[in-house]
Amino acid sequence: MSYAYTPGLSVASATTVRSVRRLPLVGEVVSGIGNQVKAEDIVAKTDLPGNVRILNVANLLSIEVAEINEYMLKKEGDLVAQNEIVAETKGLFGVFKSQAICPTDGSIESISQITGQVLIRESSIPVAVRGYVDGTVVETLPEEGVVVETYGTYIQGIFGVGGEAVGDLDVIVDNASSLLTPNLIDDSHRGKIIVGGSMVNLEAIQLAIEKNVKGIVCGGISDKDLHDLLGYELGIAITGSEDLGITLVVTEGFGQIDMAQRTFDLLRQRQDMQTSINGATQIRAGVVRPEIIIPFEETESAKRAEVPVNVLEIGTQVRVIREPHFGNLGKVSALPTEPQQLESEAKVRVLEITLENGAQTVLPRANVEIIEV
């Protein structure tokens, strides 16, 4: 049988998922191998160094830079508080003193007799990495983090914005082609991850943010609404660090595109279950896909299965990712081995797919991606 390898999106109803939970710099790992963790549990923590503030003491006191140590009331390493006097002159007859006031809480990092400046390091910023999913720690990364393994539903999206979010899943539309509109969102969705059908508009996203909805999963979004939501053109940078107050995962693409029926049915089956989502996306080298993870207990009849290898063969379900059939789903019906010439006169390897509406078309293999099931 003919086959090939191609990028793909996972849509797995039940599989084993491993999530790497890593600190941004060296710190302390607080969970060990075998520990059961919840999504909100802290598994590793560290402190980010605070910002540095410069206090030009020589200028403030009108002294020679080489004399700075004579007037300092604090030394390197001392803790200081905002508005505390860190240096002062003796003044005239004990009055008319010049003073250098600390601009922030922190510590004295250095005192320079060359520049006459004092560097004040602001208080460190605590950083905690949480479990993200309910699961078991199966590996520790010394001073960096852990790997958490869970069993459940795993779905990858096409595009997303916003970081990690955890909440109960709530499918609030009737079918995969329904629009997610503002009238469907209310106070009952606070803290939840809501699911739409074909598209979500800007007004619905803004209302969801007001209602403290944790996340939105839908089929598509318009590029204009995305621009207005972010306030800038996204470009090609990795997403996931946006401070929007909500996480958005798009499963199909840009524009009004119905969510794949299998994806929609799978999410509807997981109604009210705790769900973890992450909008982080990177399309170029080192591809990162937004994801939806819904852990549940593995039954004796359920068989663990890793996310499958991206093998393209007869019968493989695929999504077209370029025009003229962008967003359409289908199955591979033939995989010619010899390159074929396109209208552009380029010779490439192609495949034949049968679309969901029954139509057949021949496309370059680079124009599709696998829907892993």
| pLDDT tens-digit readout, 198-210 | 999 999 999 999 9
pLDDT of residue 211: 97
Torsion of CA 263, 267, 268, 271, to 10 degrees: 180
Mean pLDDT, rounded, for 342-361: 81
pLDDT tens column, 53-98 = 999 999 999 999 999 999 999 999 999 999 999 999 987 766 678 9
Helix ranges restricted to H, the chain: 57-61, 68-71, 202-210, 223-230, 261-269
Whether the CB-CB separation of 179 and 196 falls below 8 Å is answered with: yes
By CB neighbour count within 10 A (0-12 exposed, 13-18 middle, 19+ buried), where does 235 fall?
Answer: exposed
Residue 225 structure tokens: 């609404």
Average pLDDT, the chain: 88
Distance (Å, whole) CA 251 – CA 176: 11
Checking phi first, is residue 270 left (phi over 0); if not, alpha (psi -120 to 50) or beta? Answer: alpha
- pLDDT tier, 310 (very low <50, low <70, confident <90, very high otherwise): low
What domains can be seen in the chain, in order of their start residue? 52-122 (2.40.50), 158-289 (3.50.30), 311-372 (2.30.30.30)
Tell me: pLDDT of 169 over 60: yes
- Output the pTM of the full model: 0.76
pLDDT tens for 110-140 read 999 999 999 999 988 999 999 999 999 999 9
Q: Are 313 and 9 in contact (CB under 8 A)?
A: no
With bands split at pLDDT 50, 70 and 90, how would you rate the model's confidence at 324?
Answer: confident
Helices (H), 54-151: 57-61, 68-71
Question: For every residue of 242-281, which 3-state class applies, written as one string?
Answer: CCCCCEEEEEEEECCCCCCHHHHHHHHHCCCCEEEEECCC
Least confident of 45-59, 101-115, 277-291: 277-291
Query: Average pLDDT of 274-283?
Result: 92
